[in-house]
Amino acid sequence: MYGLLGCSGWPDGKVSVTFVSRDGERLKVTGLVGDSLLKVVVDQKLDIDGFGACEGTLACSTCHLILEDSVYKQLDIISDEEMDLLDLAFGLTDTSRLGCQVCLSKELNGMTVRVPDGVNDIRQLDDQGSSS
């Protein structure tokens, strides 16, 4: 699935995205207009531990990314569901978004996104809470 809940439309060109990994490595890749950032990570086989565990079904916060302020301001308004999951994300910032909900557009070409230092998977937290 990889983020199909948030993105739609037909691919119309490529967009360059640079991911800054947890160790500071810069990974420059391309995705298609209309792809989610989660789909880009999966399609490009980027090694980001734990990223996208729910495959874009908006059921965890493992695809949490930190965006540049200028990029964040260009995106559609954040949904209540995404905000609820982001509240549980590790290293939340004012420009945090879930990669499964960020759709590439030509205007985002050249964007840089940062992977937070850690990851919280709400599904694992739920499992731990139910076992006590």
- Give per-residue pLDDT as tens, 34-89: 999 999 999 999 998 888 888 899 888 999 999 999 999 999 999 999 999 999 89
| 54/107 Cα distance (integer angstroms) | 27
| 89/7 Cα distance (integer angstroms) | 21
Predicted local confidence at residue 105, as pLDDT: 94
Tokens, residue 90: 């590790």
| 101/55 Cα distance (integer angstroms) | 11
| Mean pLDDT of all residues belonging to the chain | 86
pTM (2 decimals)?
0.84
| Residue 6, amino acid | G
Q: pLDDT at residue 129 above 60?
A: no
| 59/100 Cα distance (integer angstroms) | 10
Phi, psi of 103, deg, nearest 5: -100, 135
Hey, which of 5-9, 64-68, 89-93, 124-128 has the most confident mean pLDDT? 64-68
Q: pLDDT at residue 121 above 80?
A: no
**Which is it for the CA torsion 22, 77, 32, 36, positive or negative?**
positive
51, 41 contact by CB (below 8 A): yes
